[in-house]
Chains A and B, each alone.
Chain A
Amino acid sequence: MDNIKKRNLKNTFFKIFSFLFLIKITFLVLILVGSVFLSGYSAFFKTTLNLDEKSLNLFSQEEKDLLFIQDEAGDLFPTDELDLIHRGTFKKIKKDEDQKLQDLYQKLKELKAIKTSFNLDFLIHSDSMNPYKAGLGAAIIGTLYILCIVIVITVPFGIAAGIYCQEFLSTRLKKWIEPLILNMAAIPSIIYGLIGLVVFIQFFHLPRSSGLVGGLVLSFLVLPQMIVITQEALKSVPQTLKDATLAMGATKIQTIWQHVLPWAMRPILTSVVLSFARVIGETAPLLMIGMVAFIASPASSPLEPTSTLPVQIFLWSRNPDPAFVEKTSGAILILMLLLILVNAIVAFLRHKMKRVQ
């Protein structure tokens, strides 16, 4: 009897331990997302000025210099300091100058010349030295280029290679090739960047830091895992279904196309979309192929230098200007939003394709 109690106790211990661990993970994720959100949400808003000639003349030149910047086109922009005060990121007032700025800000407010609006520029503009103008446009375009190239390369080739390995390869060859692919899936991503640097840039002379090279490198990165997962999915197809189809006189390709693939489609699709998630978030191999350049305008073709979201985050996070802190967090939010979107697609597809047992 003692023995049974002991065994049940172990059961309970395990449950409690695992549950606590789950709570811990959830807590950590919440803290992470929360802190990024708190420091990043302000990046989606900007300060806009609405001043006519008359009210502009109420300010002295010195005050104007403190508050506004005039660009080449003659448009007025708030300075970083005014921007930060208005959007509440600049809380502590220490110096006299800050106090002066605060007073001027109040004056502007009374004139109803300053207001907050949604910062669409953050999503459209490209990188800039001026944090007021810097945006994710080029990075988003670059990520989309890379994603398209990866889709075109990995989806047909990954699934085809997986089918070939599982359904056509003889056991003897499979014994050699399977561990090879598995090991390829485990190679650190920066090594793939190195291979990309040597093969695509030095040997084939493809343009440096272009979307094409990035897409090719990331395709090679996710191809092995796609092959492995496709193979695993095909293994789950019951032999009885294959036999029954073959016995009806279907050829092997017909069997695969009509019954095996539809059966395994759910896990395959999941793997496909999860590889997209990996592609969206991958940074290291891109740094290796020189994708750390300052990109001031979106690439108009995959052959032009481009930036991607995670690389842009990396670049901004190293920028000493404090105004870039919120930009960095904002970019992380966009990246997370994209990943949540991808995961939602997975969930939707899994729900749609309830497997017929």
Chain B
Amino acid sequence: MRVKEDPFIICAKDVSVFIGKSQLIQNVHLSFLKNKVTALIGASGSGKSTFLRCLNRLNDDVDDFKLEGEILFHEKNIYDNQTDLVSLRTKIGMVFQKPTAFPKSIYENVAYGLRLHNLTKSGKECDEIVENALMRASLWEEVKDRLDDEAYRLSGGQLQRLAIARSIAIEPEVILMDEPCSALDPIATARIEELIDDLKQKFTIILVTHSMQQAARVSERTAFFNKGILIEEGASNEFFTNPQNELTQRYITGRG
């Protein structure tokens, strides 16, 4: 075990994001604790998803994208020129709003990352990892008899858990979740929330959500974005019961 003196796994320092001439994020300072769930909340267009996508450099292909400041992952700036995107993204996985399955079988979907990065040699080892990942995503029981079926036949909630299984199969350290439940029904949502609770034993989770209840239920820390500015950040129980900022107060009580 490596000794971690720093409890923060990712630190954003003075991050500003521009696309063309418009500034989407202004001078955000935000750190994420290891093995904790941090929720990012805020209205649509407040920059929370943009910020999340900056954490694994998924915005790089956006035209005229520019980031100022630095984002430190294990104390190394990921926006350094030397950063290898492939290894960065194997350490920081991501689950998206729309459940997306690759046009492959269920098994191959989960094994995709393993094959991509040549992580396994034998088929047996691969089988084990896939089974393990599906178990941890609590999908194993539902699909164990039809691993070779096309993945797109699964339901929305199952697809989202498949996406989670796919990310955790390559053992990342951080999982970014961009509104993972917004396209799901309440039962599927509850399952994903349970899953997030389990996963934080092993992974650091950063969750963007529109639902304040969800943020309160699953996260240890919550950060509130408004118009690209980080308004308030704190421990969730305190954040929701005793918000310091007036904007936060108005947002969580639903008064805009």
Bound pair: A and B? Answer: yes
A259 touches B96 (CB 8 A): no
Q: What residues of chain B lie closer than 8 Å to A263, measured between beta carbons?
A: 103
B93 touches A240 (CB 8 A): no
Q: Is A356 an interface residue, CB under 8 A from the partner?
A: yes
* Residue among B87, B89, B103, B117 making CB contact with A246, cutoff 8 Å: B89
Q: Is B102 an interface residue, CB under 8 A from the partner?
A: yes
Q: Is A249 an interface residue, CB under 8 A from the partner?
A: yes
CB distance from A63 to the nearest CB of B (A): 75
Known interface pairs A251-B86, A356-B150; A243-B58 also in contact (CB < 8 Å): yes
Q: Is B152 an interface residue, CB under 8 A from the partner?
A: yes
B93 touches A247 (CB 8 A): yes
CB distance from A92 to the nearest CB of B (A): 65
| Complex Cα–Cα for A251 and B57 (A) | 13
CB distance from A242 to the nearest CB of B (A): 9
Q: What residues of chain B lie closer than 8 Å to A241, measured between beta carbons?
A: 100, 102
B98 touches A262 (CB 8 A): no
Greatest chain B CB density within 10 A among A172, A243, A357 is at: A243
A248 touches B166 (CB 8 A): yes
A357 touches B63 (CB 8 A): no
Which residues of B, 82-134, contact A by the 8 Å Cβ criterion?
85-90, 93-94, 96, 98, 100, 102-103, 112-113, 116-117
Interface majority SS (helix, strand, loop, mixed), chain A: helix
Greatest chain B CB density within 10 A among A170, A172, A240 is at: A240
* Residue among A247, A250, A262, A357 making CB contact with B94, cutoff 8 Å: A247
CB distance from A100 to the nearest CB of B (A): 75
| Complex Cα–Cα for A240 and B98 (A) | 7
Which residues of B, 209-229, contact A by the 8 Å Cβ criterion?
none
B102 touches A259 (CB 8 A): yes
Q: What residues of chain B lie closer than 8 Å to A248, measured between beta carbons?
A: 89-90, 93, 112-113, 116, 166-167, 170
Which residues of A, 226-266, contact B by the 8 Å Cβ criterion?
238, 240-241, 243-252, 254, 259, 262-263
Q: Is A202 an interface residue, CB under 8 A from the partner?
A: no
Greatest chain B CB density within 10 A among A243, A244, A248, A263 is at: A248
A249 touches B117 (CB 8 A): yes
Known interface pairs A247-B94, A249-B90, A251-B86; A240-B100 also in contact (CB < 8 Å): yes
Q: Is B204 an interface residue, CB under 8 A from the partner?
A: no
A246 touches B152 (CB 8 A): no
Give the residue name and chain of the B residue nearest to A262 (CB): B103
Give the residue name and chain of the A residue nearest to B113 (CB): A248
B96 touches A249 (CB 8 A): no
B96 touches A243 (CB 8 A): yes
Q: What residues of chain A lie closer than 8 Å to B87, measured between beta carbons?
A: 249
Q: What residues of chain B lie closer than 8 Å to A238, measured between beta carbons?
A: 100
* Residue among A243, A244, A254, A262 making CB contact with B116, cutoff 8 Å: A254
Q: Is B39 an interface residue, CB under 8 A from the partner?
A: no
Q: Is B163 an interface residue, CB under 8 A from the partner?
A: yes
Q: Is B16 an interface residue, CB under 8 A from the partner?
A: no
| Complex Cα–Cα for A241 and B98 (A) | 10
| Complex Cα–Cα for A238 and B101 (A) | 12
Q: Is A171 an interface residue, CB under 8 A from the partner?
A: yes
Subset of 30 A-B contacts with CB under 8 Å: A171-B64, A172-B63, A238-B100, A240-B96, A240-B98, A241-B100, A241-B102, A243-B58, A243-B100, A244-B94, A244-B102, A245-B102, A246-B58, A246-B89, A247-B93, A247-B96, A248-B89, A248-B93, A248-B166, A249-B87, A249-B88, A249-B116, A249-B170, A250-B116, A254-B116, A259-B103, A262-B103, A356-B103, A356-B150, A356-B152
A→B interface (CB under 8 Å):
170-172, 238, 240-241, 243-252, 254, 259, 262-263, 356-357
The 7 closest A-B pairs by CB, nearest first: A247-B94, A249-B89, A356-B103, A244-B100, A249-B90, A171-B63, A240-B100
